[in-house]
A and B are shown apart, each in its own frame.
Chain A
Amino acid sequence: MNIQQFLGIFISSVFIYNVILSRFLGLCPFVAISKDTRQAFAMSAAVTFVITASSVVTWFIYRFLLLPFNLAYLRTLSFVLVIAALVQLIEMVIKKASPVLYRAFGIYLTLITTNCAVLGAAVLNVDMFFANGKPVPGSFYYSLFQGFCMGLGYTLAMLIMSGIRERLEFCNVPKAMRDFPLAFVIASVLSLSFMGFSGFKF
């Protein structure tokens, strides 16, 4: 466990393997609610929060429940249920503790339950930081940090995208290319520019 490794995780999950632009996780909200920067920010903040929290919870489930009882094959099933329950719990806590924040996150929290970025992060953490049924040294901190960084990458892509789409609002786009198709073409150009980051070597 050293600082270089953390830096590596940061660069690779925010830039090189960006959740949206390179791994294609969480595309549906990326295309659907990236028209307005404020909404996009609320959504990405909620996603970052949930990914980080679920990285922690799924790590504990995998390490102390699934591995000792040889149930690793139940990974997908248990992670999905835990994430769904976690999102509900977070929603209830926020609703009680901070109604203002709850209004800001609004429906986005509920939508996150089926966001593949959250499950994807949990599965990736387990794939990367467990070897032969044992956690690698520092595995918990790496999982936590990678979850958070994937959220940051999500936020970055979301903000850039919504900025671009706000500018394009007044452009005269051919009718067939409006909304979804155009969003994908923009995402393609963005992804192309993010490819430049893969030149970084550690």
Chain B
Amino acid sequence: MKKLVKEFTKGIIKENPTFVLALGLCPTLAVSVSVANAIGMGVAATFVLLGSSVIISLVKGFIPGKIRIPCFIVIIATFVTITELCLKAYSPVLDRALGIYVPLIVVNCIVLGRAEAFACRNNLASAFFDGLGMGVGFTLALILISAIREVLGSGKILGHTLVNGFEPVFVFGMPSGALLVIGLLLGLFNLIKNRKT
């Protein structure tokens, strides 16, 4: 039990996919314009991570080592397609906001990275909690970045105005603002890490 809790929590801080491992940055930057988009993307990616981790850990005994990567990709792509279709059916607005970045989850290095580094070597329970932890870590990172960008870039959070009369800094809503925020955040995390050691 203790081990499972550890598998879950390591993805959130110690091995956070975005800030520590610097994986899967493309969707992180592209959809972090607003917190609502970020949560949508985070949930979609968590679902794919969780599903593919579970399936891969179940079938790891049947897949020959040489063709494991294509097999993983097919499994991941299946879950991405499920996500795509569900989004289109139940939340067309979110689907339009996320655009091409939903199909691109399939080439997100976090998902394939976890499949290759963890799910194909561990049992079902560990893989489940690892996938869930990584997904939650990814979602939290997305929410952090998008909160900074939304507050500075439009003066709102989840559509509610925070401070009246605040002049928004539009550049934070633009691509360049995303790159600046992630650059400075990565620097900050490095600084904290260096202080600790």
Contact = CB atoms under 8 A, between A and B. Distances in A.
A115 interface: yes
Contacts of B106: 76, 80, 119
Contact of A114 (B74, B107, B187, B188): B107
17 contacts: A23-B175, A24-B26, A24-B27, A24-B30, A25-B26, A25-B104, A27-B25, A75-B103, A76-B80, A76-B84, A81-B73, A84-B70, A114-B109, A123-B104, A185-B179, A188-B183, A191-B176
Contacts of B107: 80, 114-116, 119
Interface string A96-128: 000000000000000000111001100110010
Q: How large is the interface on B (under 10, 10 to 19, 20 to 34, 35 or more residues)?
A: 35 or more
A75 B176 CA distance: 31
B73 A80 contact: yes
A153 interface: no
Contacts of B26: 24-28, 116
The majority secondary structure among interface residues of chain A is: helix
Given A75-B103, A76-B81, A115-B107, A181 B171 contact: no
B134 interface: no
Contacts of A175: 190, 194
Contacts, number: 121
A184 interface: yes
A176 B187 contact: yes
Contacts of B77: 76-77, 80-81
B94 interface: no
A192 interface: yes
A60 B188 CA distance: 47
A152 interface: no
A73 interface: yes
A76, A175, A187: residue with the most chain B Cβ atoms closer than 10 Å:
A76
B183 A116 contact: no
B104 A73 contact: no
Given A27-B25, A176-B187, 5 more contacts: A24-B178, A187-B179, A187-B183, A188-B178, A191-B179
